[in-house]
Structure 1
Amino acid sequence: MNDPTGRSLAAEVREEGAPVADDDPKVVSTDEGNPFIRYVGSDVLLSLQYPRTDAPAEPAFLIMTQVMELLFKLAHIEALRTRDQLESSDVTGALWTLRRLGQVSATLTGSWDVLGSLSPTEYAEFREQLGSGTGFQSFMYRQMEFLLGNKNAKLAEAHRADERIHRDLVRTLTEPSLYDAALRLLWRRGLPVPRSCVERDWSEPYEEQDAVVDAWHVVYVEKDKYGDLYQLAEALMSLAADLGQWRYTHLLTVERLLGAKAGTGGTTGANWLRRVADHRFFPELWMVRTKL
């Protein structure tokens, strides 16, 4: 726009000391609304927080818990992609996806930093609003754990009241896990993986086997021959360590907030989490280290 003297409005603004750059971002909007909001769904996403008290720390707890749920979903997506890549013997693709999955896992662990900043008295101001609610009831976390190989049919039963969620959990329970796919890959490559690891009832919890330790041992001692499988072993080990770190940090955060109090939802709190933290994903990859 020009004034009667022919000088542009932009020139006027610059003379007044507020520079306007030609490459300043433009706010784009259409009759259908803001395209960023439409793509991200941020208007819906940011409307899902409903604190039940005026406690200053409750928004931090609520939002970070929701962030974790989203990260569980992303971890499940990436783990599913990795499993399918291993099933099709695409080790290169699986390694690339595991790289991203590892970053998701590390971000999950970092999420505890915010929750760990709450004091016990701050948490106590709104804790009773959880009622019988507990992170143990997160179906997205359960989906992620089942897919990674920590299966327990009883834990799916907690979601039977929701037909869709229960159906999805049972499907994941009865399909090969990411670790099952890795062992099936080793078997196809001629390594001494027992036949029972190739075809079995996938809904049953995986039981570690010395023969599988031996198969991974071959991969490590003959890494020049099995270079891609060696890289896969180390990528899986990094993921397992990250998941263990997440669980251990969960334990420390709960102890920091609750001490030895019972958890919500009927759990024993820190004592129960301590037992969970002892579990190791991909157990033979931990065991093989003793033989190397």
Structure 2
Amino acid sequence: MVPPPAATRGPDRRAAAAERADRADRNHGRPTLSFGDDGPTPYVDYAGIDALLGLQRPRSAEPAETAFIIATQVMELLFTLIRHEWEQARDALDADDVAGALAALRRGRGAQDVLVDSWELLATLKPTEFNRFRDGLGESSGFQSYTYRHLEFLLGNKSAAMVRPHRAMPDVRAGLERSLGEPSLYDAALRLLHRRGLPVPEERAERDWSRPYEPHPGVERAWAEVYADDRPGNELLDLAEALLDTAEHVTRWRQRHLTAVKRAMGAKPGTGGSSGLEWLSRAALSDVFPELWSLRTAV
């Protein structure tokens, strides 16, 4: 385990807590209002607020474009947070730490809730409003989001072709290629079941991780054995349900994306070259972690 930063270790933490208490006493309970004249407030400095608020640069006079840009940026930040949690969950599963994986999936699900709700920022975007700034997007499209691509790879939707748009960004390309070749979150779960003696086929416990995941009846049988013991305390059943929660939230996000596009632009082609609505419809119908869904017909 990596040791915590020095600022969070016991004696230093106690000293910091004492300093906060002393500051509150000196301020008579009121917030500090003076921080000197040589820089931003600690809040602005810590969270990079100046940089964050300098990133909204509309290309038209249409007021709705600001909401579109901010919604996009909020989603990118949430993609990054969810990726962090899913990678934590995958690595915990690789270490046989189911409790740690469940905690990370729970945190990720909270971020997914916010991600789904973030479509509310665009829920009332009229096609006439969108038309007034859509040309300013050029060929830009959410399809080109490398943060979202990391999520798809973690879900098992692997595709080397999806790295291609980022070939002119060496660091981004290298990160995606690394993610492409690593086990997905679901792969890590299946490997855990295999180590625990459940009948996950060998070709699903060890395979070419750069290939997209394909359903297998043996995997469904393994999960069915997990569900056969639904007594409290079965951590593998808790894991299965947590993964299904994650999968359901992915589908909710895809469906909200489809609805938002349908409302704002109908069946027009996408800016990034896709068929738009048709492309999104196929994604919305694709099950994440498929055997966790199909076994429900059999049990």
- Counterpart in 2 of 1:237? 244
Tell me which amino acid in the other structure corresponds to 2:30: D
Distance 1:32 1:65 in 2: 30
Percent of counterpart pairs with the same letter? 50
Structure with the greater alpha carbon radius of gyration: 1
Alignment of 1:139 with 2:138, yes or no, is no
Tell me which amino acid in the other structure corresponds to 1:144: L
Seen in structure 2, the aligned counterparts of structure 1 residues 55 and 190 have a Cα distance that, compared at 3 Å, is same
Tell me which amino acid in the other structure corresponds to 1:192: P
* Number of equivalenced pairs: 272
Distance 2:207 2:33 in 1: 56
Runs of 5+ consecutive residues of structure 1 not aligned to the other structure: 1-20
Determine which of 285, 290, 299 is the counterpart of 1:278: 285
Tell me which amino acid in the other structure corresponds to 1:238: D
Matching of residues 49-68 of structure 1 within 5 Å: 49-68=56-75
Q: Is the 8 A contact 1:28 1:35 kept in 2?
A: no
Alignment of 1:103 with 2:110, yes or no, is yes
- Counterpart in 1 of 2:18? none
Worse-matched range after superposition: 210-219 or 24-33: 24-33
The DSSP-based 3-state class of the residue aligned with 1:193 is coil
Q: Is the 8 A contact 1:79 1:148 kept in 2?
A: no
Give the Å deviation of 1:152.
1.2
Distance 1:225 1:106 in 2: 26
Q: Is the 8 A contact 1:116 1:253 kept in 2?
A: yes
Give the Å deviation of 1:32.
5.1
Tell me which amino acid in the other structure corresponds to 1:237: L
Determine which of 27, 35, 47 is the counterpart of 1:29: 35
- Counterpart in 1 of 2:222? 215
Alignment of 1:75 with 2:85, yes or no, is no
Seen in structure 2, the aligned counterparts of structure 1 residues 193 and 231 have a Cα distance that, compared at 3 Å, is same
- Counterpart in 1 of 2:186? 179
Runs of 5+ consecutive residues of structure 2 not aligned to the other structure: 1-26
Alignment of 1:93 with 2:100, yes or no, is yes
TM-score computed with the length of structure 2 as normaliser: 0.88
TM-score computed with the length of structure 1 as normaliser: 0.90
Give the Å deviation of 1:116.
1.6
Distance 1:225 1:242 in 2: 24
Distance 2:179 2:185 in 1: 11
Q: CA RMSD in A?
A: 1.4
Q: Is the 8 A contact 1:86 1:182 kept in 2?
A: yes
Distance 2:91 2:33 in 1: 41
- Counterpart in 2 of 1:204? 211
Cα shift readout 1:19-48 (whole Å, capped 9, x = no counterpart): xx9423222525554211111011111111
Distance 1:35 1:206 in 2: 46
Q: Is the 8 A contact 1:262 1:269 kept in 2?
A: yes
Q: Is the 8 A contact 1:219 1:226 kept in 2?
A: no
Distance 2:233 2:288 in 1: 22
